[in-house]
């Protein structure tokens, strides 16, 4: 934890502008209020980058952008679809508003939100790493992205708390085999989908879950998928693992 805080302090201090990379499916869960406060106190501008936007409906993205734009400029990015990186490049130049020299851009985010892929997406063919930077924590490097944009690339990310297994499952930091509460994570996925895009869940598993809670929905998905034990009861764990795997593969869209 100490090394993470030192890394964040170094990046905020040295950067001209910061990117907070979040998962578009979980914008609030993958924001870090403490880091945002530190950036605000430093009087440094920052941009919220909603990565993995290809996994979220346009309607949901626009609603989230409207809300988060009150805090900071917000950009959608999908490295899978090569979407948004040019717009992000322009927004960095516009927001930093620095003339005549390179702009140092710090990138911060939780595991698996795609911090490195965002850097690589913006850098593209311009990508060129340098050696470690004097005055930074060990392992920090610069990535030349062209157009005077230079990323501060750090090996570290914001760590999760000890009790954040559900978020780690939702973000794909841990796969189903490494989750202690597989059913609990699957129920969270169902709840998220029911709140944002129930039709997609019903269509994918060919079920109707109107008026059902998340546990009843899991049982119905298990029955439909024929995930049954010898006595005909639904194998809850097998069903949960299937839902988690489908989610982490990007097959279930919000």
Residue for token digits 């502008």?
17
Which backbone phi and psi does 76 adopt, to 5 degrees? -85, 140
Q: How confident is the model at residue 164 (pLDDT cuts 50, 70, 90)?
A: confident
Q: For 50-84, what is each residue's pLDDT tens digit? A: 999 998 888 889 999 999 999 999 999 998 888 89
Identify the structural domains of the chain with CATH numbers, from first to last: 2-153 (3.40.50.300), 165-248 (1.10.1580)
Contacting residues for 127 by C-beta, under 8 A, at least 6 apart? 120, 143, 144, 145
Chain centre to alpha carbon of residue 244: 16
Average pLDDT along the chain: 86
- Contact between 122 and 85 (Cβ < 8 Å): yes
C-alpha–C-alpha distance, residues 27 and 21, integer Å: 9
- Contact between 149 and 93 (Cβ < 8 Å): yes
User: Residue 32 burial (CB < 10 Å; 0-12/13-18/19+)?
Assistant: middle
Which backbone phi and psi does 172 adopt, to 5 degrees? 80, 15
Q: For 10-20, what is each residue's pLDDT tens digit? A: 889 999 999 99
Q: What angle do CA 83, 89, 91 make, to 5 degrees?
A: 105
Chain centre to alpha carbon of residue 213: 27
Q: How confident is the model at residue 225 (pLDDT cuts 50, 70, 90)?
A: very high
- Overall size of the chain counted in residues: 254
Q: pTM of the full predicted structure?
A: 0.81
């Amino acid at each position: 934890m100490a090394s993470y805080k030192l890394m964040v302090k170094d990046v905020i201090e040295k950067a001209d502008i910061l990117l907070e990379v979040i998962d578009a499916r979980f914008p609030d869960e993958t924001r870090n209020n403490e880091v945002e406060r530190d950036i605000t106190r430093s009087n440094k501008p920052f941009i919220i980058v909603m990565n993995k936007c290809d996994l979220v409906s346009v309607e949901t993205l626009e609603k989230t952008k409207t809300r988060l734009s009150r805090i900071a400029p917000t950009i959608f990015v999908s490295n899978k679809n090569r979407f948004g990186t040019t717009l992000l490049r322009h927004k960095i130049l516009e927001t930093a508003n620095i003339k005549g020299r390179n702009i140092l851009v710090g990138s911060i985010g939780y595991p698996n939100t795609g911090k490195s892929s965002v850097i690589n997406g913006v850098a593209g063919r311009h990508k060129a790493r340098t050696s470690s930077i004097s005055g930074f924590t060990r392992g920090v490097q610069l990535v030349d992205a062209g157009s005077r944009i230079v990323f501060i690339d750090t090996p570290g990310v914001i760590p999760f708390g000890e009790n954040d297994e559900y978020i780690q499952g939702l973000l794909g930091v841990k796969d189903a085999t490494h989750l202690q509460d597989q059913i609990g994570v699957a129920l969270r996925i169902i709840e998220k989908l029911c709140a944002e895009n129930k039709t997609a869940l019903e269509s994918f598993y060919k079920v109707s879950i109107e008026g059902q809670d998340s546990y009843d929905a899991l049982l119905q998905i298990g029955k439909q998928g024929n995930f049954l034990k010898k006595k005909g009861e639904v194998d809850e764990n097998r069903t949960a693992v299937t839902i988690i795997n489908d989610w982490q593969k990007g097959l279930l869209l919000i």
